[in-house]
Structure formats: C-alpha cells, structure tokens
Amino acid sequence: MSKSKAVVLLSGGLDSATVLAMAKARGFDCYTIGFDYGQKHNSELKAAFRIADAFSDHPHKVIRLDLGSIGGSALTSDDIDVPVEGVANTGIPVTYVPARNTVFLSIALGYGEVIGASHLFIGANAVDYSGYPDCRPAFIEQFERLANVATAAVDGGDRWSVEAPLMTMSKSDIVSAGSSLGIDYGLTVSCYQADEYGAACGACDACRLRRKGFMDAGLPDPTHYQDGISPKI
C-alpha cells in the first residue's frame, strides 16, 4: 500500500525541521518546499537542504519570490531593524512578514495538487509567536477550509488536511520532541540575522527563544554563534 503524500513547508529552522520529522514518523511520503523570498537571513535556505537530505523522501524544492519588494518587515526591509532587546509580549512584532504564510501555503497547496498530496504541514506556533496573525489556530482552520473549496477537492477530489502540530507546544517541548526523533538541530538555522555561514547573532527573538528552549529542555544548545557573541535569553 502506498503512503499518503504530504507537502511540508521547510524553512531550515528548528520548528520546520521538527515538523518534517514528525510527518516522516507518522508514515507520510514527504515532499519539502521552501521559499527564497528576499529574507535577510537566507543562510536558512542552505540549512533546509541539509535537513531535507536527512529526512525528506524527495529533493527539496525552493520557490523564488520577492516579498522584499513590498517591505513591511524587519526580515525583508533594510529600513526596519531586527529587534535585539528581548521578546515582546504584546502586539505584532516587526519581524512579521505580511501575508507570508498565506502565500507560502497557497503555493504549497498548488504543488500538492500537482504531486497528488492531500496533506500540508507547517511549523506555525501560537505559544512563542502569538502576535503573528498567520501563526494562530484560526488561520490554519480557515486555510484548510479554503483549500477544500479552491482545489479539485470541491469536485470530489481528496479532502485537504492542513496541520500545524507545533501550534500549542512550548519551544522546550518542540526541542525535546525533535531530539527524540533524531534531529540534529546543529543542521538548522533560526536566527533572523544569521551570517552567510548560518552563525547566529544570539540576541534576536528567534535566537532567544531557541536558546531558552534548549535550556528548559535540559539539552545542550548546538547553535553555532558568531565570533565573540554571548547568547542571550
């Protein structure tokens, strides 16, 4: 019996790597897709290929977009600095990229139709980034509804399932789960200001949350930091 096909959004970061390992462990035939969208931290693209080589069943696919041309985010615009003062507890962070997950999931959905998949997996998390509108349960639920009226599913094709298995997990829970599945987190890049080699800044939100996750999980932090950096939490 053939395995069900799934498209997994793979950025190269800790969360998406964990989701890929989870989907693989559940027996899905995994196809990974990532996006070169004009992000400053594009060393994560290389990390995605490393992770896909370890866990994916098929060659990793990268789609080129230019979200930088609309700006509006510290991750794509040179006019907005990446915050390094600590993780904000309220409001939508300036690291939110407008409509990013909507665009990514839409393209992944199209890819899924082409290969005959019926599952999409994304590493959205509402615990660490509750300020991101497209990392909330309501968004995932509504996108799944959209998928089932915007594709061949509406005329009797396979129904789509859009899953975000990390949605309510803490970073330490994610790290623990991924470690139990054999992930080498040293392959991943999470930092919003990683250099061309993937070395982390140790101060941005992503770095702080990642490091705290390893500390709370009681596991060594395999992150490669830039020279002279003392990572913060």
Domains and CATH numbers, the chain: 5-183 (3.40.50.620)
DSSP strand E in 41-82: where?
61-64
**pLDDT for 130:** 59
What is residue 91's predicted lDDT score, i.e. its pLDDT? 83
Q: Are strands 29-36 and 61-64 parallel, antiparallel or unpaired?
A: parallel
With 0-12 / 13-18 / 19 or more C-beta atoms within 10 angstroms meaning exposed / middle / buried, residue 65 is: middle
Output the pLDDT for position 1: 63
- Return the pLDDT at 129: 60
CA–CA distance, 25 with 118 (Å, rounded to integer): 17
Looking at residue 16, its pLDDT comes to 98
Residues in the chain predicted with pLDDT less than 70, given as ranges, are 1, 128-130
